[in-house]
A and B are shown apart, each in its own frame.
Chain A
């Protein structure tokens, strides 16, 4: 075939323009692009702050990696919860109860497993690995059930999500604190392996859980009936109902999924630390999760949200915390920066949408 001269314009010039055009196209059409850019800038800033030592590049890399593993592992729990929160917000709802669900499911896990006198499973003669697996199963089921209960009150009881989950937040925490008074538990060391099992000398299990869950939920949001119905419900609930979507079922499943994800976070936290501070654990978790979702491009009114965006959002907040730490910003001021970032992120998104 004869090569068409028009098909081969000057390569150099074109390439340059292509990059620019690609960038502009991406900026205008891919809502996650600006978030990713923001994240990259933050990471570069953080890397520069850590200092770059040419003489011992191996050691520098080691320190950099360790720092990152720390960041990711510390945020895996909230990161997983934020993914569920994204789904909840996408339907036009909210879940304020996640922090309290975390402690009640955590407490439940410890009650089941306690190596002391009152471990329920131990008393009925289940020990060792079966006990661990049974605990995981029961805790996940418990979290799912609590979420489903909240979902029922929202769908059948017509309680607004804000109120239903605010109530649940108070109830779960208070009940947990009452029943764990003076209770000192220790969990079996096998259980600790869930989070602290070392892969190639690295303690990265929580990060792997986070990544796997993110991948699954990404697929769910893009390719399954459930995932797309979530967006339809949040976008126009009435139209979704009139299109044959069982709106109540979708909402119920979203809150149940939220409960399930929180119970996973609870297992990770208990197995990482070996215990849980029932009066303080998970406090403010709902706000961190909402912040990550919002920074990641989720609309508070529903209809729009991105699993990947929430991962980016979580990382942006995490890296910023790390940076503030490195800069030596006093701890009490750090929340202010977080708040600032959330507002700026939404401001920028609104700007790019209207332009």
Chain B
């Protein structure tokens, strides 16, 4: 089977996500779909999977034009979409999961468990999967869950399977298990579109690659003809660097050490983390999905736990058991995903801006409204906050202004270390620049700032140096001229750090 997507266009509002993308894939082929976050990969695949509708263009299957209006159309056409969040029910056995939504029934209308079991066992045998269909899905590791999803796709006679970052949460052993499965499917003449950020894996398993950037197909070809370095540069493009906000600083002129982290480990998300931040410094921490940076800094902030390792503030070891202690020690953490982690939707702008200092400013538990108001009014100007009344609901503000309110809450705590996790997420361009300006200004006031971001560009524009994480470890540190998107992308995809030029000279 051959699937062609021709001249696909899609825009959301004024945002053109796909601008005339064409590609094709055949059975028996494993094709990597690459691109940075927001490049349009998911949109393209969601169109192929019938989840969203294209604005224009056509989808051809074996040369025949087919209209995809809902996911079922896509499945009927032989295309299976395995989403990153697997569609499996933990509390049912494998064989019932295989028939979820299309259960087999006996003549009397009850579930035909025996037939479902038999068919599952049959497909497992055909695909060389060594797995008992009666096992509960809950007891499977992530790779076997993937495999169950793949087998389910095989059962509906899919000839093209889209896999959206299937290996993100897998260990190396699990990855190789999934790869074996993919090879088996390839032998069965199934075509696979493999979305991944891990370039080493792409080199290992894929035949072809497609690179999307800003809604355009910028490069395609055979994997054998390129290196991971080439792929990384295709993904980011060469012309992306915009005006840097980095300050010209004498490298010897660094402030005193504020926060030092030694050997911090929680086993699950991050391991053996060491770094130091100085007063007035802006350091970036970046990586791809599953790098563990948010979990790391939430642990430092006392919202999560860590097993081993030490934290030092101004050279003194500190122990932080909860977030309130962190705030009192002078650590502030602006979380990612504002809506889930920062916004109190039932409360006012003023309350959202003052919650972290309620206890700090209160006397005998009574909130000191006047003091909060003084602090907030002062920040309102510096943050260029556009809002109505203090007592309006936080939901009355735009994303950018909501983020500024959250930021003002943290500034009210008078932090020594300010951790900003994706600070410009869901924020419009103007507010984004405002936030960058604020970050620079705060650094000049000698606050140690840590910016966590998945956008390499953001890191390069704002930070003095950056740590790149890969699967819970710091893969490398970049600064100065080494801090470019290619290097960051190479480290973030698990590439080895090259020796720095300065070190080579020694």
Contact = CB atoms under 8 A, between A and B. Distances in A.
Interface of A: 223-226, 228-229, 231-232, 234-236, 238-246, 303-304
B341 A242 contact: yes
Contacts of B355: 228-229, 232, 240, 243-245
A243 B367 contact: no
Nearest to B322: A246
A235 B345 contact: yes
B303 A241 contact: yes
Contacts of B351: 228, 232
A235 B346 contact: yes
Given A240-B355, A244-B324, A224 B345 contact: no
Given A241-B303, A244-B323, A303 B346 contact: yes
Contacts of A228: 347, 351, 355, 358, 367
B443 interface: no
A225 B413 CA distance: 16
A241 B325 CA distance: 12
Interface in B325-349: 326-327, 333, 335, 340-347
A304 B326 CA distance: 28
B109 interface: no
B366 A243 contact: no
A242 B343 contact: no
A242 B323 contact: yes
Nearest to A248: B322
Main secondary structure of the interface of A (DSSP, over half): helix
A244 B362 contact: no
A235 B326 contact: no
A226 B365 contact: yes
How many chain B residues sit at the interface, stated as a range, is 20 to 34
A235 B365 CA distance: 20
Contacts of A229: 355, 358
Interface in B229-249: none
Given A224-B366, A225-B359, A228-B355, A244 B326 contact: yes
Contact of B366 (A223, A241, A245): A223
B366 A242 contact: no
B318 to A, nearest CB: 16
B159 interface: no
Nearest to B364: A224
B409 interface: yes
Contact of B324 (A223, A231, A246, A303): A246
A244 to B, nearest CB: 4
18 contacts: A223-B367, A225-B366, A228-B347, A231-B347, A232-B347, A232-B351, A232-B355, A235-B345, A236-B343, A236-B344, A239-B335, A239-B342, A241-B303, A242-B333, A243-B355, A244-B326, A244-B356, A244-B413
B310 to A, nearest CB: 22
Nearest to B358: A225
Given A238-B340, A242-B342, 6 more contacts: A225-B358, A228-B358, A228-B367, A235-B347, A244-B355, A303-B344
Contact of A243 (B298, B340, B346, B409): B409
Interface string B354-385: 01101100100111010000000000000000
A162 B208 CA distance: 55
Contacts, number: 80
Given A241-B323, A244-B359, A245-B324, A225 B365 contact: yes
A239 B365 contact: no
Interface string B296-330: 00100101000000000000000000111011000
Top 9 nearest A-B pairs (CB, nearest first) are: A303-B346, A235-B346, A244-B327, A235-B344, A225-B358, A244-B324, A244-B356, A243-B355, A244-B323
Contacts of B341: 238-239, 242
Contacts of B324: 244-246
Contacts of A246: 322-324
Contacts of B301: 242
Contacts of A236: 340, 343-345
A1 B158 CA distance: 86
Residue with the highest number of chain A CB atoms closer than 10 Å, among B341, B343, B355: B355
A232 B350 CA distance: 13
Interface string B388-403: 0000000000000000
User: Which of A225, A242, A243: most chain B CB closer than 10 A?
Assistant: A243
A224 B358 CA distance: 9
B393 to A, nearest CB: 11
Given A229-B358, A235-B346, A303-B345, A242 B303 contact: yes
Contacts of B358: 225, 228-229
Interface in B282-305: 298, 301, 303
Contacts of A224: 362, 365-367
Contacts of B347: 228, 231-232, 235
A66 B200 CA distance: 84
A95 B326 CA distance: 32
Contacts of A235: 344-347
A236 to B, nearest CB: 5
B323 A232 contact: no
B411 to A, nearest CB: 13
Contacts of A226: 365
Contacts of B323: 241-246
A241 B335 CA distance: 11
Nearest to A245: B355
Contacts of B298: 242
A248 to B, nearest CB: 9
Contacts of B322: 246
A277 to B, nearest CB: 39
Nearest to B360: A244
Contacts of B413: 244
Contacts of A240: 344, 355
A236 B346 CA distance: 9
A340 B182 CA distance: 59
A304 B356 CA distance: 20
